[in-house]
Amino acid sequence: MLNRMKSIKVFLALLIVSMLLPSSPYAFTENGDKITQSNSGITKAEFIGKISGHFAWPHPSDYNDIWKAPLKQFNDVKTTDKYGKEIEAAYEEGIINADKSGNFNPQSEISRQDAAVTFVKAFKIPESTKAAPFSDYEEIRPDAKGSINALVELGYMSGKTPNSFNPDEPIKKSEVDKIFKKITSTMVTPVQALPKQNSVAPRRYIKLYTPTPGATIYYTTDGTTPTTSSEVYTVESKGHINEMLRDNQLPQRTVVYKAMAVKDGMVTSPVQTFTWHLYRPVVADFQHTLIKEKTSTSPAVYQLYNDSESVRPMAWYVEGQEKGILFDVLQTKADVKNLKEYIDKNIAKKPYSVVVGHAHGDHMAQAPNFVDDHDLYVNERGWAAIGVQVLNDPEDQAKVKNIDEGDIIDLGGVKLHTYALPGHDHSDIILQNKKNGLVFASDIYGCTRAGSADNVNVSGVRTDLFLSLTQQTYSNLKKDGGKITQIFTGHDELPLNATHLGLYETALQQVIDKGEAGTSPTLRGNNDAPNSRTTIIGDMWKDGTNWIAIKLPGIKGDNTEYLTSAPINYNGKDGFMKYSVLSNIEIEGGELVGKTVQFAPDSKPFSWAGSTISVKNSLPNKFDPWSYNYTIKVPKTNKNITLIPTTMSTKVKSITINGKKAEYRSENRISVSDGKVITIKIVAPDKVTTSTYTFTVEIKQ
């Protein structure tokens, strides 16, 4: 009996203690995982994570913009922390600040008054001077009173009790959710703008957005307050609006946008004012950066650029043990600055040649300064353009040498293989150092600058044929053990990695697989929007350089034949369902005898080096998706070959090789003998259209 009384006393004591202790802020799942209860407090990190996530503020590390401001950081927050990016993005927005020690104290609970201040800052709610009706009003910090007044007056926030606010008490997660829901369901979230306004740049492509679904954005660019009669902004209609400095505006100007967002049944957002400072010098010196040191087996690589150039292209100087190559010659006019003199003085240690990657004005302007003393290579499909724009003298034109697929440039210990991939321009060429995996590609790939809303314009070739040529080029880059480690482009300050080529193909492939549904409006405003058709993979504000936008022929939704129309018309609503063709065929142990592929009409006659000439816009020895009979040359020592078929559409219903089922890009080992015919049959996604290819084996003696 005595022991029983003791047990009851212990139980009652424990019960009283448990009642006096605060309840746990956590609940537990059946698996024992701890979860935060809705009536618990909320840390500053969690709170800012919610706010920052709603506004979709990009973190500076997530996008490629050389003009962005240096990253602002707290002493006690790392980018890699949970909510680290959201906290740093909010810091950049000016929504939060550091304490005297430079800390944010992310794991501390946020007080009711600090939460109110942050809500008002983030949603741009005007502060109020009407004192909130609380008995402890004077306990509220002076800097928080205006925010609390406003939230209470608008009905977004209430006191801890009807009579007291309790400003220093931690706010509960449930109350944060309640306030957040009230604000976002009552008023349209203020318009946001990208790129950020906190740095100076020569140009900005401006995107406006509001997180409120279905809201309409109205904006002005003349400093006036927007109304519902002002211009309407959508990415589809405006793209990212191009604000840059024309030559007659140099060296600087200020761009001011004002914007608001409206939605029926909701309070119109506060007007936001955005200001960008543009600066570009009238004339500037060339600059360079050493990207790769020279070794006995790999070349030195230097980046060259000039900050006075309106689109800031890149050129690349590559030097081996005996010779060098300058790839592209920038945009500055030859009579304004001399790139040759700069390279001779600051970079080159060996004699060098010059290669123009393609004949566009921002990549060939300095050619006259090299033509007398250096071998100058330009693909002949670009001669008409460079002859009109840069090299007008027939004597200078006569010094230009052609460069095309199959050419090899030996720099001493380093060989550069040449490939042609027209699309952006008919004269586009690529150089590859297979051993080290260095690819120099001018404007064919890349253009991943977020702040410039770049895209690669490949509208010079129909998209299906361009996909085929792109795949064949990739196969050639990998041929003979070729590596792809770094891709140096015309508008990316740093080399891209090999995964970029996969994104590039994926962007093209989705157009073939989905037709018009695989395309998007352009990202570029002014000259392009809404007059273009684009395919996009990834997000320029989230994916760093791992995104791609490719401009295709025509305008999204129009009747432009951006796909091949003969012998089968793949354009129109369901045309893409008819693809029963191969886009590439890879052969291991043998060599395909290719066809001459016409990618565009031949050039019109033009004057060159004192003569009138015309240039063919075709590529020899290529796989042509619409040619169905081929020869494969096989060394007599090989008894087998491996075929790897790539169909134009990944959605084909079937692939058979000699009657046996095969898969997309599968390896198929086949025995060979002289005269043997290999048959590949493909059934299109529509289950009706078919194509049959024959490959006749020729044993090389």
Strands (E), 526-590: 533-537, 548-552, 582-588
Instruction: Judge whether 526 and 588 are in contact, CB under 8 Å.
Output: no
CA atoms 635, 637, 639, 644: torsion sign: negative
Q: Which residues make beta-bridge pairs with 660?
A: 657
Residue 594: how many CB atoms within 10 A of its CB?
17
pLDDT value, residue 555: 83
Report how far residue 173's alpha carbon sits from residue 165's, in angstroms, rounded to the nearest whole number: 16
Secondary structure (3-state) at 689: coil
pLDDT value, residue 556: 82
pLDDT value, residue 529: 77
Q: What is the mean pLDDT of residues 15-40?
A: 43
pLDDT value, residue 531: 76
Residue 18 pLDDT greater than 70, yes or no: no
Q: Which residues of 438-470 are buried (b: 16+ CB within 10 A; e: fewer)?
A: bbbbbbbbbbbbbbbbbbbbbbbbbbbbbbbbb
Report how far residue 512's alpha carbon sits from residue 145's, in angstroms, rounded to the nearest whole number: 59
Q: What is the mean pLDDT of residues 209-219?
A: 99
Phi, psi of 598 (to 5 degrees): -85, 115
Secondary structure (3-state) at 508: helix
Measured in whole angstroms, how far is the alpha carbon of residue 30 from the centre of its chain?
43
- Planar angle of CA 409, 413, 416, nearest 5 degrees: 25
Report how far residue 75's alpha carbon sits from residue 103's, in angstroms, rounded to the nearest whole number: 5
Measured in whole angstroms, how far is the alpha carbon of residue 55 from the centre of its chain?
21
Measured in whole angstroms, how far is the alpha carbon of residue 565 from the centre of its chain?
30
- Smallest CA-to-CA distance from 332 within 247, 254, 400, 398 is with 247
pLDDT value, residue 668: 99
Alpha helices in 327-430 (DSSP H): 339-346, 361-364, 383-389, 394-399
> Which residues neighbour 58 within 8 Å (Cβ) at sequence distance 6 or greater?
89, 194, 541, 542
Q: What is the mean pLDDT of residues 89-94?
A: 98
- Smallest CA-to-CA distance from 653 within 616, 691, 697, 685 is with 685
pLDDT in tens, 217-242: 999 999 999 999 999 999 988 989 99
Q: Judge if the upstream peptide bond of residue 195 is cis by omega within 30 degrees of 0.
A: yes
pLDDT in tens, 431-445: 999 999 999 999 999
Q: What is the mean pLDDT of residues 627-653?
A: 98
The mean of the pLDDT values for the chain is: 94
Domain ranges of the chain: 44-186, 192-279, 287-444, 449-483+498-578, 579-700
Residue 609: how many CB atoms within 10 A of its CB?
16
Residue 281: how many CB atoms within 10 A of its CB?
15
Q: Judge if the upstream peptide bond of residue 530 is cis by omega within 30 degrees of 0.
A: yes
* Angle at which helices 112-123 and 44-55 cross, to 10°: 10
Strands (E), 210-323: 216-220, 231-233, 241-244, 252-262, 272-279, 286-292, 300-306, 315-319
Six-digit token string for 487: 């891709």
Q: What is the mean pLDDT of residues 355-382?
A: 99
Q: What is the mean pLDDT of residues 626-630?
A: 99
Residue 468 pLDDT greater than 50, yes or no: yes
Residue 19 pLDDT greater than 80, yes or no: no
pLDDT value, residue 41: 92
pLDDT value, residue 442: 92
pLDDT value, residue 264: 98
Residue whose entry in the numeric block shows the structure tokens 């002289």: 674
pLDDT in tens, 564-581: 999 999 998 999 999 999
Six-digit token string for 31: 């698996």
pLDDT value, residue 526: 77
pLDDT value, residue 559: 86
- Smallest CA-to-CA distance from 134 within 112, 159, 113 is with 159
Q: Which helix (H) or strand (E) holds 503?
A: helix 499-514
Q: Which helix (H) or strand (E) holds 85?
A: helix 84-93
Alpha helices in 337-460 (DSSP H): 339-346, 361-364, 383-389, 394-399
Q: Does domain 579-700 have CATH number 2.40.50?
A: no
Phi, psi of 11 (to 5 degrees): -60, -45
* Angle at which helices 499-514 and 463-478 cross, to 10°: 150
Report how far residue 326's alpha carbon sits from residue 288's, in angstroms, rounded to the nearest whole number: 12
Residue 639 pLDDT greater than 80, yes or no: yes
Measured between its terminal Cα atoms, the distance across the chain in Å is: 109
Percent of the chain at pLDDT above 70? Answer: 94
pLDDT in tens, 168-198: 999 999 999 999 999 999 999 999 999 999 9
Under DSSP, the state recorded for 23 is P
pLDDT value, residue 36: 44
Q: What is the mean pLDDT of residues 260-273?
A: 98
pLDDT value, residue 14: 41
Helices and strands: H and E segment counts in the chain: 13, 38
Residue 334 pLDDT greater than 60, yes or no: yes
In this structure, which CATH number among 3.90.79.10, 3.60.15.10, 3.20.20.70, 3.40.50.2300 belongs to the domain 287-444?
A: 3.60.15.10
Residue 348 pLDDT greater than 60, yes or no: yes
